[in-house]
Amino acid sequence: MTNSLYARYMEAHRALRTHLRSCGVCTDDHLCADGQQLFRALTSLQDQYLAAQKRKRN
């Protein structure tokens, strides 16, 4: 069963939050390599989700 785009977006958000809480390297101004990868995944899914919402409204 495929997760909805929203569910994947929220899971990416949770994964990044969890990582940030436990990573001793990540700060507000710097992300470690894993943090950067999680952030890129989150922002990509966020962009996709917002674009889909915009298409639905138009």
Residue pointed to by tokens 């969890």: 18
Q: pLDDT tens across 33-54, in order? A: 999 999 999 999 999 999 999 9
The predicted structure's pLDDT at residue 5:
94
Would you say 41 and 12 are in contact if contact means Cβ atoms under 8 Å apart? Answer: yes
pLDDT per residue as tens digits for the range 9-31: 999 999 999 999 999 999 989 99
> Which amino acid would we find at residue 31?
L
1 vs 36, residue with greater confidence:
36
Domain ranges of the chain: 5-57
